[in-house]
Structure 1
C-alpha cells in the first residue's frame, strides 16, 4: 500500500508558524529536473502572501486605497539541498521582528509532510517595508503591526 501525503491545503497557522504546501511541477525545474533557484523565492513569496491573507492583512485593499504596498528591502537565502520534480514541499514562515514600517520573516523550505521528519532544503530571511505610493517608507496601516506581533507570539486567530 502506498503511503499517500496529506491532502493539499495551501496554508495554515500552527502556533507561531505559518505552513504552506507546494508541489514541484515540471515548469519549476531546469533540464536536470532540479528546481530553478529563483523558484524558491516564488515559493517563499506565495507563503508570505498566504500568511498575510490568513492573518487578515488585506494588501490589495491597502493598494487600492492608495495607502501603499509592501516591498522586499533585504533578502538572504541559503540553498542547502535541491528540490526535484514531484517533491512535496513545506514552506514554514515565522515573524521574527515587527517595526513601524517593516517586518522581518524567517522562512524554511522543507521536503516532506511535517516539520519533524522533513529535510531542510532552503532557508531565507526577508525584510519587507511598507512603502507609500511614492516609494517612501511609511507606517503600516493601523492594526497590522499588532497582527504581526500576535503571529510572532503564536496568537494566530484570524482576527
Structure 2
C-alpha cells in the first residue's frame, strides 16, 4: 500500500565504526548557506545517540530508573572545511577509550560524493561521563562498559 511509510533507518556499524548519514537543510545554515558552527556538534550528538542505541545502551531507561545520565565533560573540535546547504554528510564515530564512569568517542564529519571519495570537514573528540542524578560521576550501568568495549573492538553487539 502506498500510504505506509518505509521503516526508519538508523545509522549502522561497519566493524568498529558507526556510520550516520544526514543532509544539510536551510535551517542548519547561516545567511550565506554555510552550516552554522554549533550544528556540527548537533550532528555529532545525533550520531553518538544513534550509536549508543544500536549498541543496546538505553539512556532513557537509565534516566527514568534514577541511575543517571551522560554529560559531556570534554570536547575538542576542529573545523577544516564548511558544509553547505543540501550537502550529504556522513558522521563516522569510533569509541577510543572506555573507563568505569566515562567513554571517549572520536568523530569525523565528511561530505559525501557518492562512490567518489569524501571530503573531511570536521574532526572532534568527546569525553562523556556517566553522572548520578545529583551530578556526581558514577560507574556506568552494568554491561555498558562491556558494550562500549565490544564496539571499540568491532565485535557484533547482541541487543
How does the TM-score come out when normalised to structure 1?
Answer: 0.92
Q: Is the 8 A contact 2:147 2:157 kept in 1?
A: no
Query: Equivalent residue for 1:3?
Result: none
CA RMSD of aligned residues (A): 1.5
Q: Any unmatched runs of 5+ in structure 2? A: 1-7
Measured in 1, the distance between the counterparts of 2:156 and 2:70 equals 21
Query: Equivalent residue for 1:100?
Result: 100
State the 1:92 CA deviation. 0.2
Query: Equivalent residue for 1:39?
Result: 39
Measured in 2, the distance between the counterparts of 1:132 and 1:99 equals 16
State the 1:117 CA deviation. 1.2
Measured in 2, the distance between the counterparts of 1:114 and 1:50 equals 22
Query: Equivalent residue for 2:120?
Result: 120
Task: Return closer, same or farther for 1:145/1:64 CA change in 2, 3 Å cut-off.
Answer: same
Task: Return closer, same or farther for 1:113/1:50 CA change in 2, 3 Å cut-off.
Answer: farther
Q: Any unmatched runs of 5+ in structure 1? A: 1-7
Count of residues in correspondence between the two structures: 152
Task: Return closer, same or farther for 1:37/1:49 CA change in 2, 3 Å cut-off.
Answer: same
Query: Equivalent residue for 1:4?
Result: none
Query: Equivalent residue for 2:72?
Result: 72
Moved over 6 A (4+): none
C-alpha distance after superposition, 1:53-101 (max 9, x if no partner): 0000000000000000000000000000000000000000000000000
